Structure 1
Amino acid sequence: MSQARLASCIPLPIEQKTLVNVIEKAKDWALMHGVGMRDRKHFNKDVIQIAPFALLPSPFPKAEFEKAVELQPILNELMHKVAHDDDFLMNTLQNALQVDEFTANLYDIWMKVRKEQVTQSLSLGLFRSDYLMQQHEDRKIKQVEFNTIATSFGAIASYLPSMSRYILRQLGHGDLIKNMPENRALSGLCAGIIEAYDLFGVPTAVVLFVVEEVSYNICDQRFHEFEISEKRPDIMIHRKTLTEINEETELNDKKQLVIDGKPVAVVYYRSGYEPAQYPSTKEWDARLKVERSTAIKCPSIHYQLAGTKKVQQALAGPGVLEKFMGCGASTSRVRDIFTGLYSLDFDESGERAVEMALADADRFVLKPQREGGGNNMYGADVRDALLRMRHSRERAAYILMERILPPLVPGYVVRPNAAMPPPVVDLVSELGIYGVIIGTKDKVYHNRQVGHVLRSKLADANEGGVAAGLGALDSPYLIDIRHKKISKYNTKLL
């Protein structure tokens, strides 16, 4: 399939000596400002290396960026309503629950908590809606997914515009800085945690971060702690794994989750979104303990269920958005960001979807109910998987999504320990918009958009997770393309 092209913000290639020099400066800037991660292959708690990043900010249509920003509070409220519609969640997930043990375990916790009566009606959502620009749809953004748990890179992304501005100035293009939007994702996300803490209303309470056994993306997590501590020195933060929560916390007679004698006001999950993070029943017991407590969860378990791919696919169905949003301009705007989404259930529409994918597998992505990157299937793998699962109920645990083909952008990716200088490569960029919402089923206290992240990957790479080692952190360089045409035949947009 041919893909359109956007030109880099500055002429490429950069002269080799200049390129090597500016990369060395950029690496030092990154390390000294926390644009870093721990090495997965040679893990050492005392060592941080640069996180992969795009040397130059990548062009992104200004009008579509602004659309994504404006839509975020609308999407926040939509997902809030979805999460509080018990019948919709049950009906949407019922087939997946029969074949997807992980989602079934989450749902089982939700059922137990509802049966016992929910002790904390407030939920905190730190969400992120991800988009690719579809070249064949009049250059419009299309939603890739909506993340409701452990939305990463808000902290590091807040520093990336400053790094990109520094690099552009070093290359003699300081005049381009005006086209780079500010990014205050870190302060906005942390403000959400602080606001939830204050709504909890117990001055001696603490905040609990649920983390992995080994945290590679440590800078992104710690910056949240540092920001909260700076803004509110009175708030103490604990970091615990699910295993530690099972062993080191308790529920008191008030159903408060207690750590070291202190009640927990907010539980912020940076783990708990994939099966490997629940290696035994202890971790599931910990999740149930937290959900039974009065702590405000980020996310609550029904928020996490609302973020599943089956829900994303169901929302694209006829009349579903109208059920939650009514009939109006906002509903039309949300529907416009959806690409083709299809159920693989054992019914007439599911059979049609299977036939459609088998006839042209390159047009589609096969998605399980998972977060964290590296789980989707593309091209020939879609066909092979569907042939294998065609008569198995396993297929109901997946959805089929029409593949989005964004424009290509030439650029340089800077990685730790990579050969110098890097080559010019074709990249595609995925925009994420962060949102904060706090509320009960009947009342929303806070709802806003708080920042963004751009992640780029090699054009020939199917997956692009930075934490999974497949993508690179980036910044948007906003361009006006309303009066310009993107060619489908490799013509540059100047």
Structure 2
Amino acid sequence: MSQARFTSCIPLPLEHKSLVGVIEKAKDWALMHGVGMRDRKNFTKDAIQIAPFVLLPSPFPRTEFNKAVELQQVLNELMHKVAHDDDFLEHTLQNALQVDEFTANLYEIWVKVRNEGIAQKLSLGLFRSDYLMQEPDVNKIKQVEFNTIASSFGAISSNLPAMNRYILRQLGYADLIKNMPENKALSGLCSGIIEAYDLFGVTGSVALFVVEEVSYNICDQRFHEFEISETRPDIIIYRKTLNEIFEETSLNDKKQLMLDDKVVAVVYYRSGYEPAQYPTQKEWDARLRVERSTAIKCPSIHYQLAGTKKVQQALAAPGALERFLGAGAISGRVRDIFTGLYSLDFDDSGEKAVEMALADAERFVLKPQREGGGNNLYGADVREALLKMRHSRERAAYILMERILPPLVSGYVVRPGGPVPPPLTDLVSELGIFGVIIGSKNKIYSNRQVGHMLRTKLADADEGGVAAGLGALDSPYLLDL
């Protein structure tokens, strides 16, 4: 069966001279408005280059975009409740913990902090729920994953609509701009950090961003700092690696996290989501110290555990959503966005899932408990991996997910150092909706949807992470189908 296709927002291909001219303008616009990243091959702190972007906004059905926006508050609350259900997390993760050292280390921190008494009951979530359109039913979004840590590209994505509007005007299609939704992800995400800071309520306290040793995605991170500084000049922000946190912070007798003799109010993780970011015990000790403190964490350790793939799979099981959302229409609406999700545990259902995937590997994606892109297995690799670990407990660290086949659209991807003009290629798009939630086990103080991002990749590419160099930033062009 041929893959469904959307029509581009304007007729393509563009005439060569016009295409070359508008790409030159678009690149300059991107550089001058921070749609940029540092060069991985020739890294220097003195320069940025354009982040990969799609020249024209990509079509997305308006009804499904609105559905994703409307569901975000429900999903925020769902993940908040999951994170605070100790029994559910323990039962869901028990098999993965035996074979996945990284998740087990996170879980161990969670248990330690619970046993000694949680110093900060409030958690801050800056979440993102990601969707692909499912073929052949192209009017239905299906959830790819739910991100609870380092949910990126809210900042740069907030600039993309203005760039796409500029490009459409330059090409003579200003009348189409009305079909592009506004995007206030940056201000919305920053409002969550500011609100958490105010709830912490200690005058003169500071915010701490946990960052990688080398930050390629610097614009997306720094824009948060600049926005907060502009909105609230009284909030001072530090950027520290986990190793620096180990060396430079301490807990006082009130369990306050101290940095340069200042109390840390909010800790926002843009690192700490993959094993490579914990090269020594120092990084794990730093994470435990932060978790033991009174600082409001984004995310807290139980929010991060709630974002694992095993939890995603467990929530698709019969009765799971009803446990958290109650029986009724809301649970039905959430279940409607799920695709097939299967456990690979050593039981009857796990054996059936293995058999199903071996029989038709192209239908599935094999997902480990990892964030950050580039970790999933597809097609023949699914079959090869399952044959290797069929009789190994290692397979319990993965879930099996039905592959989502989104509709194609023709477009131009502009990359740093890429050909000018780039070829017209088939693309597929993934929509991410950002949400903010702040609360304790017994009370939610804030819960809202705050913006979106669109990430687009070549149709024949399996992964689409922009920071990993596989996808491109984009904006939705809403269709009335």
**TM-score interval, normalised by the smaller of the two chains:** over 0.9
Equivalent in the alignment of 1:333: 333
State the Cα distance separating 1:371 from its structure 2 match.
0.2
One-letter code aligned to 1:173: Y
Equivalent in the alignment of 2:59: 59
**Per-residue displacement from partner, 1:313-368 (whole Å, max 9, x unpaired)?**
00000000001110111111000000000000000000000000000000000000
Structure 2: gaps spanning 5 or more residues: none
Equivalent in the alignment of 2:80: 80
CA separation of 1:249 and 1:433: change in aligned 2, threshold 3 A: same
After TM superposition, list the pairs within 5 Å mapping 1:414-425 onto structure 2: 414-425=414-425
Distance in 2 between the 1:182 and 1:63 partners? 16
One-letter code aligned to 2:339: T
After TM superposition, list the pairs within 5 Å mapping 1:62-211 onto structure 2: 62-137=62-137, 139-211=139-211
Identity %: 82
**Per-residue displacement from partner, 1:425-466 (whole Å, max 9, x unpaired)?**
000000000000000000000000000000000000000000
One-letter code aligned to 2:183: N
Distance in 2 between the 1:418 and 1:332 partners? 45
- Give the secondary structure class of the aligned counterpart of 1:2: coil
**Per-residue displacement from partner, 1:387-411 (whole Å, max 9, x unpaired)?**
0000000000000000000000000
After TM superposition, list the pairs within 5 Å mapping 1:54-453 onto structure 2: 54-137=54-137, 139-453=139-453
For the 8 Å contact 2:4–2:136, the answer to whether it is kept is no
- Give the secondary structure class of the aligned counterpart of 2:460: coil
One-letter code aligned to 2:168: L
**Per-residue displacement from partner, 1:376-395 (whole Å, max 9, x unpaired)?**
00000000000000000000
One-letter code aligned to 1:292: R
Distance in 1 between the 2:60 and 2:222 partners? 29
**Per-residue displacement from partner, 1:226-271 (whole Å, max 9, x unpaired)?**
0000000000000000000000000000000000000000000000
State the Cα distance separating 1:420 from its structure 2 match.
1.0
**Per-residue displacement from partner, 1:48-83 (whole Å, max 9, x unpaired)?**
000000000000000000000000000000000000
Distance in 2 between the 1:2 and 1:404 partners? 14
Distance in 1 between the 2:418 and 2:451 partners? 30
- Give the secondary structure class of the aligned counterpart of 2:387: helix
Matched, 1:457 2:457: yes
TM-score calculated relative to the size of structure 1? 0.97
For the 8 Å contact 2:154–2:451, the answer to whether it is kept is yes
Distance in 1 between the 2:413 and 2:25 partners? 14
Structure 1: gaps spanning 5 or more residues: 482-494
For the 8 Å contact 2:4–2:138, the answer to whether it is kept is no
- Give the secondary structure class of the aligned counterpart of 2:81: helix
One-letter code aligned to 1:155: A
Distance in 1 between the 2:111 and 2:386 partners? 31
Tell me whether 202-211 or 129-138 shows the greater mean CA deviation.
Answer: 129-138
Distance in 2 between the 1:378 and 1:419 partners? 28
Distance in 1 between the 2:421 and 2:267 partners? 44
Distance in 2 between the 1:418 and 1:139 partners? 33
State the Cα distance separating 1:203 from its structure 2 match.
1.2
State the Cα distance separating 1:139 from its structure 2 match.
2.2
Distance in 1 between the 2:131 and 2:189 partners? 19
- Give the secondary structure class of the aligned counterpart of 1:109: helix
Distance in 2 between the 1:358 and 1:223 partners? 45
TM-score calculated relative to the size of structure 2? 1.00
One-letter code aligned to 1:353: A
State the Cα distance separating 1:138 from its structure 2 match.
5.2
One-letter code aligned to 2:77: E
**Per-residue displacement from partner, 1:67-123 (whole Å, max 9, x unpaired)?**
000000000000000000000000000000000000000000000000000000000
**Per-residue displacement from partner, 1:267-306 (whole Å, max 9, x unpaired)?**
0000000000000000000000000000000000000000
One-letter code aligned to 2:185: A
Runs of 4+ in 1 over 6 A off after TM superposition: none
- Give the secondary structure class of the aligned counterpart of 1:63: helix
Report the count of equivalent residues.
481
Distance in 2 between the 1:428 and 1:61 partners? 13
Distance in 2 between the 1:260 and 1:444 partners? 32
Equivalent in the alignment of 1:47: 47
Distance in 1 between the 2:191 and 2:77 partners? 18
Equivalent in the alignment of 1:492: none
